[in-house]
Amino acid sequence: MNDQTDRPHPDARLGATSPARNNDAEARRRLQRLAHVLDNAVRLPGGYRVGVDGAIGLIPGIGDLAGAALSSYIVAEAHRLGAPLIVVLRMLLNVLVETAVGAIPVIGDLFDFVWKANHRNVCLLEQHLGQPHRTQRESGLVLFGVTAAVVAVAVLTVIAIVWAIGFLLSLL
């Protein structure tokens, strides 16, 4: 059994000729194709590749939300394929970063073309299926680091506000 879900681990439930293995292999190919279209479909001069996710993000207001919805499909499918919670959370973090930064005019649009959350997430899924323990450990470390950074910024913000209030009160 997979500790993160009540389902058997994907490698344990799939025999060499089982229909489930064929369906899962097809789902993985579908996710790879979707990530390619979203993040790498168009080759620019110089060899850099961009996808429709960045172009969708150029639409004011709804572009980044539409991109997040498409990216969420990849995360949901990864969960269905047996990715544990820690890996799914890391994937959601990738989508959140792309969506949040992508919402910033101009800079965010450029970031959308570079971050490639969909490609990252499909690579995470493939890495998990090949090396589940390593991927879970790395995902845990990434999430711990991000959480620690967010807490540190919050604490420093509170300290700065308290200092500023104290400074302003000392001027009175």
Say whether pLDDT at 8 is over 70: no
pLDDT per position as a tens digit, 124-147: 999 999 999 999 999 999 999 999
SS3 label, residue 39: helix
| Structure-derived torsion over alpha carbons of residues 68, 134, 146, 125, reported in degrees to the nearest 10 | 0
pTM of this structure: 0.79
In the numeric block, which tokens belong to residue 149?
A: 């950074």
pLDDT per position as a tens digit, 15-37: 444 566 678 889 999 999 999 99
Confidence (pLDDT) at 14: 43
The separation between CA 172 and the C-alpha centre of its own chain, rounded to angstroms, equals 49
Q: What are phi and psi of 43, to 5 degrees?
A: -90, 125
Q: What's the Cα-to-Cα distance from 166 to each of 90, 155, 156, 161, 169, rounded to whole Å?
A: 39, 16, 15, 9, 5
pLDDT per position as a tens digit, 44-102: 999 899 999 988 988 887 898 999 999 999 999 999 999 999 999 999 999 999 999 98
Say whether pLDDT at 157 is over 80: yes
Say whether pLDDT at 13 is over 50: no
